[in-house]
Structure 1
């Protein structure tokens, strides 16, 4: 951990600050100086903590993958009720740091390592959504198609709408949930 005015700064604090910077300034704004200033630490503490910019980027991408994908999957699986799992996924999708995700997707076009992380996240999220939907609909084909549609809805929203308009995204996911339930098997499970 790096020192910050007598207290410790954990890697997670660097990553949270980086997501804020990404959401506000894009990948071009994510630099060591602004990141360290946002936390009140020196660049020396950054290098002590991560070793290099590449080490930081690897850590940030892993953190994003774990927190914004792994956590969503874990929380969705925490309930045995298939409809409640869908509601949890909806809530967590609305709560994502959409501005940072837009910046990561743009960054992924320029940096192969970020691109690989973005691809992994896309695949993991789509598979997780397909599993949640698969517990509600009778057909695996329907579950796959609906998962692709639902994930495309999220990415499309991030790319074409104001990332801060969580109300609109929530209403869109309400419509999506209605579509999933229209395909639901009797009694809500397969």
Structure 2
């Protein structure tokens, strides 16, 4: 492990710093030098951790998938009530690092490995959202279409709006929630206020 001011720097710190660089400078700004400087470590420590750029990118994509997708799904599944689960997914989705994700989406267009990871994450998210929506609405085809719409809403927001504008995204997802509830049986609809 690399040293930073008397403490150890672990791989997750590299990945977190990389997400910050992606959010600020895009994929073009994510380079070994700036990444190491942001952590106060040498490039030697980078190579010690990852062996090279390809190893780092693989690790970063795995970290992103675990932090931005698997964790959201896991926390949502811990909630028993279907409406409450939908609210948890909505809140956690609003809290994602959409600025970094916008950069990853752009990067995915020019890097095949990043593109495969992006596609995998999108599919995992759509399936998870479809399961959550499917517990609120009765028809599976409706749940599928609504999940595709929700994913399109998020990806479109990341690409066409300021991805740091969480207030706008929160309102958009409140609108999406109301749409989902129009497909729900009447007895499922109570307790559907906006995100707190």
TM-score normalised to structure 1 length: 0.97
What do the CA deviations read for 1:110-144 (whole angstroms, capped 9, x no partner)? 11000000000000000000000000000000000
The equivalent of 1:19 in structure 2 is 19
* Cα shift at 1:164: 1.0
Aligned to 2:103: 103
- For structure 2, list consecutive stretches of 5 or more residues without a partner in the other structure: 190-196
Q: C-alpha distance in 1, partners of 2:171/2:98?
A: 16
SS in 2 for 1:55: helix
1:138 & 1:185 partners in 2: Cα distance? Answer: 7
Cα separation, 1, equivalents of 2:63 and 2:188: 34
SS in structure 2 of the partner of residue 8 of structure 1: strand
Cα distance in 2 for partners of 1:18, 1:152 equals 25
3-state SS of 2:8 partner: strand
Superposed CA deviations along residues 133-180 of structure 1, whole A, max 9, x for unmatched, are 000000000000000011100000000000111000000000000011
Question: Which runs of at least 4 in structure 1 moved beyond 2 Å after TM superposition?
Answer: 185-189
Q: Which residue of 1 aligns with 2:3?
A: 3
Could you say which residue in structure 2 is the equivalent of 1:57? Answer: 57
SS where residue 157 of structure 1 aligns? helix
Question: For residue 124 of structure 2, what is the aligned residue in structure 1?
Answer: 124
Secondary structure of 2:3 counterpart: strand
2:185 and 2:147 mapped to 1: Cα distance? 16
| 2: CA distance, partners of 1:33 / 1:181 | 49
Match of 1:183 in 2: 183
Q: Following the alignment from structure 1 to structure 2, what is the Cα–Cα distance between the partners of residues 117 and 185?
A: 36
What's the CA shift for 1:187? 2.9
| Equivalent residue, structure 2, for 1:159 | 159
Map of 2:145 onto structure 1:
145
How far did 1:6 drift?
1.6
Partner of 1:136: 136
- Quick one: distance in 2 between partners of 1:101 and 1:2? 27
**Structure 1, residues 9-51: CA drift from partner, whole Å, max 9, x if none?**
1111110100000000000000000000000000001100111
Gaps of 5+ in 1: none
Instruction: Encode CA deviations 1:41-69: one digit per residue, 9 max, x unaligned.
Output: 00001100111110000000000011101
Is residue 86 of structure 2 the alignment partner of residue 112 of structure 1? no
Per-residue deviation at 1:186?
Answer: 4.1
